Structures are given as structure tokens and as C-alpha cells.
């Protein structure tokens, strides 16, 4: 742990990748955890629900953890809390909106009564162990976001969280440039800054630009209009509601996460919704379609999301009809493009017009700082040391070089990855011994019980299919008592390939007759009917069809 003369910065998630942000600060034998996020599975993790950081380091040092501080309410910054916090515990600090979202999650996991959550405001320092923390208001794509000023006797660390510099945000809560400049004037030991949009040139496009695009789209919509956006983007939801109200449309919310976040935002005063504008889903069949605007979650085409069910025609109430309009007010997150285009095609096929960032760029603006904003952050804080955070290696390296152009010497900055231990003293920044890190898969109620071997088997099954061979043999002699039975899934359609299945059975019977030597087993191997049948089936399908299904032999002894 960091001593009185050094600070340790230990990323467990979010460095070398997008999402799953989790940063640990160590000083005077104590640990402060900043954010605790998750990421979502891709094609290489079939069946997995979410992915969270490996928290072995925190679990092993739980007695040293003095608290969790959350910068904002996005899933990639707090979504792993229900899985990691129970093994570590400690007070949780955050803004009103952030804690409102977290309370819903903890309530679902039966953790709400066990947790101590402390709401903090901007420019109001609070002490967590040896760390004096102060929230600094920043603009982002979710309300109530904050950067952090973390003071220790060694100096001040600025941890930006996700941010952009929007001078005219919809909620009238711009990034607090004054506080950032004040910290810079007094001296910043280290800056850890968001790198997500480092490769985008220019300055932030204001969220207020989206209002004009939405107004034009709503004005020409003739029938039902469905607008999909991120469930956490309260500012965008406000603009959609305002656009609907101007066109005398009632608003219906579709999607549980969207409903939960709207309820929290309304209760905290972040959403202004006039009486009678927001209606229950049960009202949908009783109103003319041209008088309704639906706000839906699922803008990334997530399976089972509200928008995916609408596009597939599986939604209980909402069906797309010719003349309807669907608006995707969100960016195409890299890796999701194919899924989103498939969603768009289904909606076009149903007769809807689909508006998205490719045909109307103003329908969405990013919540992350591009190059000029990142330069301004560096110029205001004037850090001695610099660590780029939130991004893949290419983002982090680019941000480090940007910092060098802004006056931070290269020897005073490092590119760290998950598990790296960065040691900062008054005069140096170096790398220490790494700590355990990695990804933990959450599948249903299981956390960490799905590993690489299970995922490999799932991919094998999904790509090559499964063959089950059932054998009935004599318990004493091992002789086969009846013909093998076969069950295939994802290999062939059995009804159309009965002759082929007969050939497979014959191959199994021949293998059992020839024995180990006839199937190329060595004399040292212990071989039974199960092994012979498995090898015979594998060989048959490889030779006959060029396929490699998973083969499971079941032997019943009589």
C-alpha cells in the first residue's frame, strides 16, 4: 500500500478496454475505490449476462477499504456494485441521481438494507479515511455526473470520470471550469482523464443541438413515433418529452430500465413532465397512433430489450405499421453495428421510416470529451503527473502524447493497464508489482463459475453442434446388447438424414467390434465402449461432412 510518501494507483478495470471501470487509490495503508462498473458480453462470451472486474485484490484487502466513491450512474461505472460490494463492503458516496440508480439495483439484489449510502453535493469536501474527496460538477450523457478532487498530504489528484465540456447543457449544469482552474492554480499532483474520444478532433457538440433535430423529426411524423435512447440519458429523455408535448403527443415509456430511471429522475427534480403527458402502457390501444410518442430502451439492439421486441413483432402492445417513424437517438457503439443494422432492417421491412446517426448526425451527440476538451482539462489543471484512463491501449497512448504536447513531460506520464500498480511520489511516477486482475463472468445467479473452458465448450456447441450416442452394454462382458441410439442437435436435421444416421450407427458398431487397436488407441490407454464410440462418431462426421461436433457418449450397463 502507499505510504505517507507515496500514492498507489491501481486500475482493476477500464484501462486497456472500454467499460468495466474500477480504480483503486492506496495511501497510508488504506484503499479508496472509485467506480465499480461492468461491461456487456460479445460474440466471444456466449450465454454470459454481464462481465465484471476480477476483485481478488479488493477481497484480499477488504479490511483496508475505507469506501466506494461513484462518479456517475452509468452501468460501466456502477453496474458491478451488487456483485463486488458484498464481499468488500464499506460506505458508498455518490450524487443524488447516482445513488438513486444504485438503490434500485441493491433493492433487486436484496442489499439495500445492508448498505450505507451517503449523498454528497458538488464543492462539498468529505473525508474517507486519509482521503479528502470533493465532487466537481461535469457535463456528461447522464445527469449528476462528477469529477473528483482527491486530496492527500502528498498532493491533489483529479479523477475526471466521464466528462465533456458542454457550455449550454440541457440541464443548465455545465462542467465546473472554475473549480478545475482553482485546483490547477493551487497545484495538481496527478490528473487521470477520460480517453474515450481522444481520436475525435474539435470540441464538444452541445446536447442542445439534439433538440432542434428532434423538433424537425416530430414535426413531420404522421403516425406513431418511437424514439430509442439510452435509459440513463435523462437530458435526452427530457428533450424527447418536450418535442412530443409541442406536437400534442402523449408519451408512453417502454422498457423497465427506462421506467426505473425516469422515476428516480422525476423524484429528484431532474425531469420536468407536465401532468397528463406521461401515460401508462395500457393506454396505448385506446389512443390514435398519431397522438402517441413511445420512448424505448434497447437502442443498441440488445436481445429481449423493448425495441428488439417491437422490431420482431413480439411486443404485447406495440406493433410497427407502415407510416410509423422510429428514431435511434444514440450512437452505434463499436461492436454493435451489425446487431443495430439488423434491427433497422426489420423495422424498415415492417414499413417504418428509421432515423439514426448515419442519416441525421444531429440526432445524437457524444457524452465524452474530444481532443479540444481534453486539452482544456489539461490546461486548467496543469498536472505534474498524468495517467490516461477509460480506453483501449490506442486511446491511452494517444492521450499520453496529447498531454506531452500540453506540457506534461513524457517521463511524468504512464500508460497503465488493468492490474498495473502505479506508484506516485512527490518527484516520480513509476510502475510497481502488478496485482491480480481480469474478467469475471456473471451468468444467471452464478458469479465466476463460468470460465474459459465453459465458454470454449459453449462456442464449440454453438458452432459445431452436438451428438449424443447411447449404448446399452453387458455389465460383465462389455458386449453391446442393442443397436446404438443417436441424438443430434445443430449438426444435421435427423428427419432428412436417416440414411446418414444409420451409417453412423454402423461406424459405432464396427468400432466396438474392432476394439482399441482397430481405432488407433495405444496399448497404454484404458479404453472402454464410451471412448470407442466417441472416436468413431468424430471420425465419421469429420470424414463425411467435414464437421467436428461435440460428442457425448452415454453407456448403460445391463
- Catalytic amino acids? 194, 368
Radius of gyration of the chain (CA): 28
Sequence-ordered strand ranges (E) for 259-391 = 278-279, 292-296, 325-328, 353-355, 383-389
Burial letters 390-416, b for 16+ CB under 10 A, else e: bbbeebbebbbebbeebebeeebbbbb
Is there a contact between 209 and 262 (Cβ–Cβ < 8 Å)?
A: no
Query: CA 160 → CA 104, 165, 314, 370, 453, distances in Å?
Result: 25, 12, 42, 14, 38
Strand residues in 300-391 grouped as ranges (E): 325-328, 353-355, 383-389
Largest Cα span, the chain = 88
Instruction: Give the bridge partners for 226, in sequence order.
Output: 294, 326
Give, to the nearest 10 degrees, the angle between helix 81-88 and helix 96-108. Answer: 80
Say how far apart CA 534 and CA 547 lie, in whole Å: 14
Q: Which of 55, 56, 24, 59 is nearest to 38 (CA)?
A: 55
CB atoms within 10 A of CB 493: 8
Residues 6+ apart with CB under 8 A from 353: 324, 325, 326
Dihedral angle of Cα 58, 61, 67, 71, to the nearest 10 degrees: -30
Q: Which residues contact 347 (CB under 8 A, 6 or more apart)?
A: 311, 320, 326, 354
Alpha-carbon gap, residue 209 to 200, rounded angstroms: 18
Q: Rounded to whole angstroms, how far apart are CA atoms 404 and 154? A: 23
Task: Say which residues have a Cβ less than 8 Å from residue 454's Cβ, sequence separation at least 6.
Answer: none
Amino acid at each position: 500500500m502507499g505510504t505517507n510518501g507515496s500514492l498507489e494507483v491501481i486500475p482493476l478495470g477500464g484501462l486497456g478496454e472500454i467499460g468495466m471501470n474500477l480504480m483503486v487509490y492506496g495511501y497510508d495503508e488504506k484503499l479508496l475505490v472509485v467506480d465499480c462498473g461492468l461491461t456487456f458480453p460479445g460474440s466471444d462470451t456466449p450465454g454470459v449476462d454481464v462481465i465484471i472486474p476480477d476483485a481478488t485484490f479488493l477481497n484480499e484487502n477488504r479490511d483496508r477499504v475505507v469506501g466506494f466513491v461513484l462518479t456517475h450512474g452509468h452501468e460501466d461505472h456502477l453496474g458491478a456494485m451488487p456483485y463486488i460490494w458484498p464481499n468488500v463492503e464499506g460506505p458508498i458516496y455518490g450524487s443524488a441521481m447516482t445513488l438513486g440508480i444504485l438503490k434500485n439495483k441493491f433493492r433487486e439484489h436484496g442489499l439495500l438494507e445492508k448498505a450505507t449510502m451517503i449523498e454528497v453535493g458538488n464543492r462539498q469536501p468529505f473525508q474517507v479515511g486519509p482521503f479528502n474527496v470533493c465532487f466537481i460538477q461535469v457535463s456528461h450523457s447522464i445527469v449528476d455526473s462528477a469529477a473528483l478532487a482527491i486530496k492527500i498530504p502528498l498532493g491533489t489528484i483529479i479523477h475526471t470520470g466521464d466528462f465533456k465540456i458542454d457550455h449550454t447543457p440541457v440541464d443548465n449544469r455545465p462542467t465546473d471550469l472554475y473549480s478545475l482552474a482553482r485546483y490547477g492554480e493551487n497545484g495538481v499532483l496527478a490528473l487521470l482523464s477520460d480517453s474515450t474520444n481522444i481520436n475525435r478532433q474539435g470540441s464538444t457538440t452541445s446536447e442542445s443541438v439534439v433538440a432542434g433535430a428532434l423538433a424537425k423529426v416530430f414535426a413531420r411524423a404522421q403516425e406513431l413515433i418511437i424514439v430509442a435512447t439510452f435509459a440513463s440519458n435523462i437530458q435526452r429523455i427530457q428533450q424527447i418529452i418536450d418535442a412530443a408535448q409541442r406536437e400534442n403527443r402523449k408519451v408512453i415509456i417502454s422498457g423497465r430500465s427506462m421506467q426505473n430511471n425516469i422515476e428516480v429522475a422525476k423524484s429528484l427534480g431532474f425531469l420536468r413532465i407536465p401532468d397528463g403527458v406521461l401515460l401508462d402502457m395500457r393506454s396505448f390501444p385506446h389512443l390514435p397512433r398519431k397522438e402517441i410518442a413511445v420512448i424505448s430502451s434497447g437502442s443498441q439492439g440488445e436481445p429481449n430489450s423493448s425495441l428488439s421486441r417491437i422490431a420482431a413483432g413480439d411486443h404485447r402492445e406495440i406493433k410497427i405499421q407502415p407510416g410509423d417513424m422510429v428514431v435511434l437517438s444514440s450512437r452505434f457503439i463499436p461492436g454493435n453495428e451489425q446487431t443495430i443494422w439488423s434491427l433497422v432492417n426489420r423495422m424498415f421491412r415492417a414499413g417504418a421510416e428509421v432515423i439514426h446517426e448515419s442519416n441525421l448526425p444531429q440526432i445524437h451527440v457524444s457524452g465524452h470529451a474530444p481532443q479540444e476538451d481534453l486539452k482544456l482539462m489539461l490546461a486548467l489543471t496543469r498536472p505534474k503527473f498524468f495517467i490516461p484512463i477509460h480506453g483501449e491501449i490506442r486511446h491511452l497512448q494517444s492521450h499520453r502524447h496529447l498531454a506531452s504536447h500540453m506540457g506534461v513531460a513524457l517521463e511524468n506520464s504512464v500508460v497503465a493497464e488493468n492490474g498495473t500498480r502505479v506508484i506516485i511520489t512527490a518527484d516520480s511516477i513509476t510502475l510497481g508489482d502488478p496485482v491480480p486482475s481480469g474478467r469475471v463472468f456473471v451468468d444467471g445467479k452464478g458469479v465466476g463459475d463460468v470460465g474459459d473452458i465453459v465458454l470454449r465448450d459453449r462456442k464449440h456447441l454453438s458452432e459445431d453442434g452436438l451428438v449424443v450416442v447411447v449404448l446399452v452394454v453387458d455389465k460383465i462382458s462389455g458386449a453391446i446388447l442393442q443397436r446404438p441410439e443417436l441424438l443430434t442437435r445443430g449438426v444435421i436435421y435427423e428427419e432428412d438424414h436417416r440414411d446418414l444416421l444409420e451409417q453412423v450407427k454402423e461406424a459405432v458398431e464396427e468400432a466396438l467390434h474392432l476394439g482399441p487397436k482397430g481405432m488407433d488407441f495405444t496399448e497404454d490407454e484404458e479404453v472402454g465402449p464410451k471412448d470407442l464410440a466417441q472416436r468413431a462418431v468424430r471420425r465419421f462426421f469429420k470424414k463425411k461432412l467435414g464437421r467436428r461436433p461435440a460428442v457425448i457418449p452415454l453407456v448403460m450397463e445391463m
